[in-house]
Structure 1
Amino acid sequence: MDGSVTRGRVHRLLLPVTAAFATVALLAGCSGSGASHSSPAQVNAAAPKKAEAPGRADGHGLQAEAPGRADGHGLQADYERVIKDVLPSVVQIDAANSLGSGIVYDAQGHIVTNAHVVGGEKTFKVSTATGGGAIGARLVAAYPEQDLAVIKLDSVPNGLKPARFGDSAKVAMGQIVLAMGSPLGLSSSVTQGIVSATGRTVTESRAGGGTGATIGNMVQTSAAINPGNSGGALVNLDSEIIGIPTLAATDPDMGGSAAAGIGFAIPASMVKTVTDQIIRSGKVTDSGRAALGVTGRTVVDSHYQPVGVAVVEVKGGGAADKAGLRAGDILTRLGDTDISTITSLSEALAADRPGQTVQVTYTRGGSVKTAQVTLGEI
């Protein structure tokens, strides 16, 4: 399926998305230009509480107690160490109409962030942890299909510290993580939580500046993700980036208020794949994302309930074309997944790989048919 597909309708605040697994709207963590960069109004600060760890001396208390520590302060010491290690690699990005975060990717001054943070802008102001004034930066390239972008500093300050990225395959539920960025314009802020789930597939809306990306294999976290956190760092206790915080859930049944403890981060593996290609070629040359090669729209029944995706156009030479699909067919199933909307089709494809053969179930002229389709690439 190509980028011209019309998305389904969703609830939205700033950059909301829908998720296949929950009835929620999602709020992207990118703040508007009205956010203060140092002292936002009406911020209620609570006295910090000292973190406690159980008296384990084997290095595994609360997952992360420092080895050899039995005095209950191992976890706090780990938090402090990780913040000292990683926070210098997290920057604040000011675009014309938004504020977000970014991660120092290399010593040449490349910064990776979300595509929705840069929006349609080409130049930015970046505040780094090295001190001094904001540094100018320019867009290298954005890849909205994965909501990622790379910018480059106009000048590289002394002491700029690239981040270390972890192995996405080792991310597991229950791991303690820290989220670092500039929520609500509060630069160099840190929140903590755990990995709540892995392998989530989430689809952004295009309304309000969203990219419309369907992103697979996202990391769900309980760490607080707020406007301005987008593009920042989700970090494990080995001081490794395991994801880029991108979206936080809101509950449309409660007036769009935040659903506490439900945030999503793009996994480090995808961040590295996209960023390396952009730095090397100025664009993504190998997306690793499956495509059906159709333009479609959601169709509804007489009760206005979605029942499938009508093929509007088939890309010549694409996967669907080679399998004999044509305009007017209504897609109802991809592999083992029922397809009722264009969003559900996008999410099903996000779980597959180019070159994979799947069975597509569709109706044509009132008859149910199937086709074996070898998926192409976006």
Structure 2
Amino acid sequence: MTVSHTCRRGAALLCAAALLAGCTGGSPDESPSPGATSPATPSPTVVGELEKSYRKVVRNVLPSVVQITTDNELGSGVVYDDEGHIVTNAHVVGKSRAFEVTFATGGDPLNARLVATHPDQDLAVIRISDPPKKLHPAVFGDSTKVEVGQIVLAMGNPLGLSSSVTQGIVSAVGRSVSEGRGRATIGNMVQTSAAINPGNSGGALVNLSSQVIGVPTLAARDPQFGTGPAPGIGFAIPAATVRNLADQMIEHGRVVDPQKAALGVSVRTVLGEDFRPAGASVVEVVRGGPADRAGIRPGDLLVKVDSTQITDVVTLAEALAGHKPGDRVTVTYVRAGDERSARVTLGEG
């Protein structure tokens, strides 16, 4: 399975693992055994209250969602503050510096300019040149409290259909996903079953308290089943990461403290005897860096970080993306045919 950006055009493929699910069960004609109970059907009152919650969230958040148009892309964005700053994905803005912004609530497109972009974690900030007097900045929630099974709504402009809303749950947290060779590896992602389609990139993943808990950025694709997005597998950058990086870009014009964990090495993928990736070979070690202090040398073959198997450059990046600078990990490596291990305190890259 591959994973791709959710902008309308120019999507980049990403590596991920394909999941297959099987079904079991009896014939539809089979009757329940004596004493068996049927699944409870939600009462009209419960359904009605849930619908009210959905409508309230849409009313509260949709005015904060915008459509961003460049010469090559069409994506989404979220109003960040009352000064006209908008957060979106770096792959949405691409190399453009000027944009048109259209609010989900309608009105003429407004001109916007690039503030900063940070491709390493696929985030960017743009600013409306002449912001309206009444903006509706989104409320960003505490993404550390997001739980699996939590109901969420995804808001954006999939396939150019403005002001679209889809519903799902949080499927997993703490995912590390790579955007492909030479591109960003993002850690601590929120996985969701809410439909994430082309054009949703940069929009809002929202809880039922009308808080943005993430910015949708990736949708899974499985080439075995065509080129469209794999249903029910999407990823969002957590709100905590969005706030941290956006604040830096607004204040400094760039990210000055990415808080990404690093080993302090440059590596290349090595193939085994079966011509399959067999590990990440150390090409260069930063003098005085984490790997250097742990005794790792050029030529060592990295094969594991803690319990995560390392087969190539991408899996190493994904393993590190789940950590923070200062974390201690066990790195397993092969030197002259002998497998060794070292405790490494990760630095910042």
Q: Is the TM-score greater than 0.5? A: yes
**TM-score scaled by structure 1?**
0.81
Shift of residue 74 of structure 1? 1.0
Aligned partner of residue 86 in structure 2, secondary structure: strand
CA distance in 2, matches of 1:243, 1:249: 17
Q: Say if 2:18 is the partner of 1:22.
A: yes
Question: Over the residues paired in the alignment, what is the CA RMSD in angstroms?
Answer: 2.1
- Note the C-alpha offset of 1:254: 1.5
User: Could you tell me which residue of structure 2 aligns to residue 59 of structure 1?
Assistant: none
2:149 to 174, 186, 203: 174
2:348 matched residue in structure 1: 377
Consecutive unaligned residues of structure 2, counting only runs of 5 or more, are: 6-10, 21-40
**Cα shift readout 1:112-133 (whole Å, capped 9, x = no counterpart):** 0011101111111111246432
Q: CA deviation at 1:364?
A: 2.1
Letter in 1 for 2:15: T
Q: Which moved more, 1:350-359 or 1:141-150?
A: 350-359
Deviation at 1:22, TM superposition (A): 3.4
The 5 Å alignment of 1:164-313 reads 164-206=139-181, 212-313=183-284
Q: Aligned runs of 1:59-98 on 2, under 5 Å?
A: 70=45, 72-98=47-73
Cα deviation code 1:33-72 (max 9, x no counterpart): xxxxxxxxxxxxxxxxxxxx9338xxxxxxxxxxxxx374
| Residue identity opposite 2:103 in structure 1 | T
Distance 1:289 1:11 in 2: 22
User: Cα gap change, 1:55/1:149 in structure 2, threshold over 3 Å: closer, same or farther?
Assistant: same
Determine if the alignment matches structure 1 residue 147 to structure 2 residue 122: yes
Separation of aligned partners in 1, 2:275 and 2:3:
18
Normalised TM-score (structure 2) = 0.87
What is the SS of the residue equivalent to 1:73? helix
Equivalent residue for 1:116?
91
Letter in 2 for 1:154: S
| Aligned partner of residue 132 in structure 2, secondary structure | coil
Q: Secondary structure at the match of 1:310?
A: strand
Q: CA deviation at 1:316?
A: 3.0
- 1:60 paired residue number: none
The residue type equivalent to 2:174 in the other structure is G
Task: Tell me which amino acid in the other structure corresponds to 2:12.
Answer: L
Correspondence for 1:160 among 113, 135, 138: 135
2:63·2:103 contact (CA, 8 Å) conserved in 1? yes
1:314 aligned to which of 266, 280, 285: 285
The letter for the 1-side match of 2:184 is A
Q: How many residues align?
A: 324
Whole-angstrom CA distance in 1 between matches of 2:305 and 2:81: 40
Change over 3 Å in CA distance of 1:161–1:319 after alignment to 2: same
Q: CA deviation at 1:353?
A: 1.5
Question: After superposition, what is the alpha-carbon deviation per residue over 1:212-237, rounded to whole angstroms, capped at 9, x for unaligned?
Answer: 21112211111111100000001111
Deviation string 1:260-283 (CA, Å, 9 cap, x unpaired) is: 111111111111111111112222
Is the partner of 2:147 in helix, strand or coil?
A: coil
> What is aligned with 2:79?
104
Q: Which residue matches 2:43? A: 55
CA contact (8 A) 2:92 2:202 kept: yes
Structure 1 residue 319 displacement after superposition: 1.7
Give the Cα separation in 2 of the matches to 1:282 and 1:258: 34
Q: How many Å separate the matches in 2 of 1:188 and 1:10?
A: 27
Do the aligned partners of 1:142 and 1:149 also contact (CA within 8 Å) in 2? Answer: yes
Q: Matched residues in 2 for 1:107 and 1:202: separation?
A: 32
- Which letter does structure 2 place at the counterpart of 1:213? A
Please report how far the alpha carbon of residue 348 of structure 1 lies from its aligned counterpart in structure 2 after TM superposition.
Answer: 0.9
> How far off its partner does 1:293 sit?
1.3
The share of aligned pairs that are identical, in percent, is 57
Q: Which amino acid aligns with 1:165?
A: F
TM-aligned CA deviation for residue 287 of structure 1: 1.8
Query: Cα offset for 1:255?
Result: 2.6
Contact 2:112 2:126 in 1 (8 A): yes
Letter of the structure 1 residue corresponding to residue 327 of structure 2: Q
Q: Which moved more, 1:81-90 or 1:195-204?
A: 195-204
- The Cα shift of 1:345 comes to 0.7
Superposition deviation, residue 360 in structure 1: 1.6
Contact 1:104 1:110 in 2 (8 A): yes
Q: Alignment partner for residue 345 of structure 1, among 316, 320, 324? A: 316
Distance 1:241 1:224 in 2: 16
**What is the rounded CA distance, in whole Å, between the counterparts of 2:46 and 2:260 in structure 1?**
48
Distance 1:102 1:264 in 2: 16
Deviation at 1:172, TM superposition (A): 1.1
Deviation at 1:193, TM superposition (A): 1.1
